[in-house]
Chain A
Amino acid sequence: MDNKISIKAAHKTFGEGERSIVALQKVDLDIARNEFVTFVGASGCGKSTLLRCIGGLETLSSGSIDVDGMPISGPGVDRAMVFQHYSLYPWLTVMDNIKFTRQLQAGREDLTSADVEAASGRADALLDLMGLTHVRDAYPNQLSGGMQQRVAIARALLPRPQILLMDEPFGALDAQTREVMHDLILHVSKLEKTTIVFVTHDVEEAIYLGQRVVVMAPRPGRIDSICPVELPAKRDQDMKLSPEFMQQKKAILHRIRETAGMRTDYELLERMTRQAEQQNDMQ
């Protein structure tokens, strides 16, 4: 099996004693090399926690996460992470943000000047790929949200990570910018051969991007179902309107609603409407 990431019986509890919360319960999942897996689920389902565990920012209470067959211990340069926002360094220009990892490695003696030069060329290439060349000397707060996320992705890609972990990276963007970013990230995944684990609350986004959509359920956080996406590998925006897409979106939304334990109480709404009407009549 050519598994890049292998999650075995992952269990995570926050807090102690009676007030503890089970964020992840017995999560098993294998993610293949160069696969694009998306996670959706109601809030509190543990999708972000799982991503942070893979990134090494949280440790599992029990179970294990292997990358290339080796159990992970803490964060590592092989697993880059893109956050929803506030992760760029506002005091650095776009270019210096992207080269931030190089600044870290510059302190290590085992780096030759050829390595540094190669990294510099790569920074320029990424700038180009992300359409950021014209803002290379700008500061992050001069950029739109979409541009800022491009910088964050370029920065994450600089050291050629084999895995890219994305935690609702487009959650704060408007719908049009988001579409552009979707096609960009699909392009990146093909070009860089990166394994991408992508957490979102947007089902449409999850289907459009993912080869598999993992639906998680809350209380306790667990995997509810795994849905392979039956769309042509080469995606385009019109597919979102195809019957297959709609069908899958409907099925996943149903699963999320069912597991969320939250649903619109139509009976209550109707009763309230009736009451209001009665009061209006009396007046």
Chain B
Amino acid sequence: MSSRHNIFSRWNGLWVIRGHLSSRTYLMFALVGMLLPLAAWWGVSVSGWMDKVFMPGPVDVLSRTYVWFKEDDLMHDVWISTYRVIAGFSLSAVLAIPLGLMIGTYRPVQAMLEPLTDFIRYMPAVAFIPLVMLWVGIDESSKIAIIFIGTFFQMVLMVAEDVRRVPITQIEAAQTMGASRREIISLVIVPSAKPALLDTLRVTMGWAWTYLVVAELVAANSGLGYSILRAQRFMQTDKIFAGIILIGLIGLAIDQLFRWLHRKNFPWMYKK
């Protein structure tokens, strides 16, 4: 009786609003969240409820991935796609960070550039593809350009917002200590905004992968997105699955890398 009561109260304790979970319980719930869809997928595929051509099972996808790796140069597709994402994303970051910093720091720059950026941001990046192909051609730079267009304008605005979130008292304290404008930017605004900036990069990295697939679906003859498109032509649904899951896994790995960098670079945020 008392042990039943005990289990009940422990179960109830899990549902405290904004409550805490031990890391073991957290891991358990995470595993359930991952394995449940996988099991459902596997169940549907073996039940014969859907045609295998449309709904390959996990095993089919795994074996197709192996064949792709062995015979179709999977690693090249992974590499070329990753290269495009990183190139487009880096180009965007290199320009967006200083620009966003200026917009978030100086009002005239903000007035001049922010409405314009807001306007361009609402133009769908995908609609630029025909134009990009006419201007840049269909080689590597066109995919990089599409990823750039897709991420840059969002990134500028997010960086500007990160910079504006630096508490004004941190800046005023530096002013009263005799810091010059340049010192305030390099010693206060940048270090203060850095953690938020890294998060902005992490989020926009996800979008870069979305635009990669768009770019490769339209104008490419290699890469994960391109492989997905070609697999559709040959009715290789297992390869489509494999491509999508691979992109998800790479994205997850990069996301974790960013989170690791965050903990590594900003230890003060994690000490309590």
Q: Which residues of A contact B (CB under 8 A)?
A: 55-57, 75-77, 79-81, 83-91, 100-101, 103-104, 107, 138-142, 152, 155-156, 159, 165
Chain A positions within 8 Å of B187 at CB level: 100, 103-104
CA distance A29 to B261 in the complex (A): 53
A75 B175 Cβ-Cβ under 8 A: yes
**How far is it, in angstroms, between the C-alpha of A104 and the C-alpha of B186 when the chains are bound?**
11
B172 located at the interface, meaning its Cβ lies under 8 Å from any Cβ of chain A in the complex: yes
Q: Does B271 contact A (CB under 8 A)?
A: yes
- Tell whether A141 pairs with B183 under 8 Å between CB atoms, given A57-B172, A87-B173: no
Main secondary structure of the interface of A (DSSP, over half): loop
Interface residues as binary, B162-205 with A (CB distance below 8 Å gives 1, 0 otherwise): 00000101101111111110010001100110100000000000
Known: A104-B187, A139-B268, A142-B272. A85 touches B176 (CB 8 A): no
Size category of the B interface is 20 to 34
Min CB distance A147 to B, Å, is: 14
Q: Is B266's CB within 8 Å of the partner chain A?
A: yes
A77 to B178, CA, bound (A): 5
Residues of B within 8 A of A165 (CB): 176
B176 contact from A81, A86, A88, A140, Cβ within 8 A: A81
26 contacts between A and B (CB under 8 A): A56-B175, A56-B176, A75-B175, A75-B176, A77-B177, A77-B178, A79-B176, A85-B169, A86-B169, A87-B169, A88-B170, A89-B170, A89-B188, A90-B269, A91-B191, A91-B192, A91-B268, A101-B177, A103-B187, A104-B179, A140-B268, A141-B269, A142-B271, A152-B173, A156-B177, A165-B176
**Which residues in A have their C-beta under 8 angstroms from that of B174?**
100, 104
Structural contact, A86 and B167, CB atoms closer than 8 A: yes
Given the known A-B contacts A103-B187, A141-B268, are A75 and B178 also in contact in the complex, defined by CB atoms under 8 Å?
yes
Q: B177 touches which one: A84, A140, A159 (CB < 8 A)?
A: A159
Chain A neighbourhood of B170, CB < 8 A = 86-89
Whether the Cβ atoms of B172 and A101 lie closer than 8 Å is no
CB-CB under 8 A from A156, the residues of chain B are 176-177
* A76 CB contacts on chain B under 8 angstroms: 178
In the bound complex, how far is the Cα of B170 from the Cα of A88, in angstroms? 6
Contact between B268 and A100, CB atoms less than 8 A apart? no
| Contact A141:B272 (CB < 8 A) given known A86-B167, A86-B170, A89-B170 | yes
List B contacts of A142 (CB < 8 A).
271-272
Residue numbers in A under 8 Å from B173 (CB-CB): 81, 83, 87-88, 152, 155
| In the bound complex, CA of A91 to CA of B266 (Å) | 7
B-chain residues with CB within 8 Å of residue A75 when the two chains form the complex:
175-176, 178
Q: How far is the CB of A80 from chain B (nearest CB, A)?
A: 6
Closest to B180 in A: A104
With A89-B170, A91-B268, A104-B183 as known contacts, state yes or no: A57 contacts B191, CB within 8 Å: no
What is the chain A residue whose CB lies nearest that of B176?
A81
Complex CA gap A168/B173 in Å reads: 14
Q: Contact partner of A81 among B172, B266, B269, CB < 8 A?
A: B172
Q: Which residues of A contact B172 (CB under 8 A)?
A: 57, 81, 83, 87
Considering only CB atoms, which chain B residue lies closest to A102 in the complex? B177
Cα distance A151–B23 when bound, in Å?
A: 35
Nearest 9 pairs of A and B residues by beta carbon? A139-B268, A81-B176, A77-B178, A87-B173, A87-B169, A86-B167, A75-B175, A83-B169, A86-B169
Q: Which residue of A lies closest to B265 (CB)?
A: A91
